[in-house]
Amino acid sequence: MFMITVILSIKILNSDDCPITEHTVIRYVAKTPGRTAKPENASDHRLALLVPYRERFEELLEFVPYIHNFINRQHISHDIFILNQVDGYRFNRASLINVGYLQVKSSYDYIAMHDVDLLPLNDNLSYAFPKQPYHLAAPNLHPRYHYAKFIGGILLINREQFNLVDGLSNNYWGWGLEDDEFFVRLKEANLNITRPENITTGINNTFRHIHGKERKRDTVKCHNQREVTRKRDRKTGLHNIKYEVTSWKNMTIDDVPFTIINIKLDCDFNKTPWCNCTAKSNTVTNKNKETKSLK
């Protein structure tokens, strides 16, 4: 399956003068604002792909053209936003998504919170407008995470519902648990997480995880991070995130347009001192390899 997909992808990129088939890239005429042209027969819904990012250039080169072609085959209006964290603090995936959302919400009615290193392989995985939060990278399909409450990787949610739960917590500096906290937000708001059905390709052939094994995850815990980040956060979210957008860059990879938003997050050391663990005395290494669900 994987090899077939690679071959198809290569074919897609070179198929300009082939007759149009299911897997041919269709080059559309722009009809709506935004960087990517509206596909023929697309609905009026508009998807913003929000991709938290820092220093993963090789993955970006692969991700942008791949995901654009995948979503175009479904005739969905979309634009890709790479949320590039340019401050010196630890990576904060959740806050980057909050910022990306605030920046683009006026022009899109749903978002995909999307890892840069997870590529969908099965065309049955739908990026269509979700009535309820739609977890594409379901535990029975994701190559690596299989716990029932997992909602990371790729999650689609509409604007109304993302607003309703006040976005994501801003407390999660470093790797992990922010998605588990978001799960609790959705549950408390009585939203029903939905997932793909009747996917026959299983955990090995539904996604390709392009995360290099050599890349170390930032799983350090310092100060009171461990206690605080295991609890539902009722204080932070969209309404009080502090940040600065330093620039927007319109770019293309293999002719596919996307936008980089350079983001400087602000950290309040009194509230989340673990945004910078350089003070070694308080630092302990997290021995647990995988995250556990929030209690």
Residues that bind ligand NAG (CB under 6 A): 26, 35, 40-41, 88-89, 122, 124, 190-192, 197-204, 248, 250, 276, 278
Q: How far is the CB of 198 from ligand NAG (least distance, A)?
A: 4
Q: How many CB atoms lie within 10 A of CB 287?
A: 7
Q: How far is the CB of 37 from ligand NAG (least distance, A)?
A: 11
Give me the DSSP letters along 43-73. -S-EEEEEEEESS-HHHHHHHHHHHHHHHHT
- Tell me if 155 sits within 8 A of 113, measured CB to CB: yes
Residue whose CB is nearest to ligand NAG in the complex, by number: 88
Q: Measure the CA–CA gap between 188 and 165, rounded to whole angstroms.
A: 9
- The smaller minimum CB distance to ligand NAG, of residues 285 and 287, is found at 285
The closest of 191, 184, 133, 127 to 158, measured between CA atoms, is 133
Q: How far is the CB of 117 from ligand NAG (least distance, A)?
A: 18
- The smaller minimum CB distance to ligand NAG, of residues 224 and 231, is found at 224
- Tell me if 173 sits within 8 A of 90, measured CB to CB: yes
Place of tokens 């029975």: 140
Q: How far is the CB of 242 from ligand NAG (least distance, A)?
A: 14
- The smaller minimum CB distance to ligand NAG, of residues 105 and 230, is found at 105
- The smaller minimum CB distance to ligand NAG, of residues 129 and 230, is found at 129
The closest of 147, 78, 83 to 115, measured between CA atoms, is 83
- The smaller minimum CB distance to ligand NAG, of residues 188 and 254, is found at 188
Q: How far is the CB of 79 from ligand NAG (least distance, A)?
A: 8
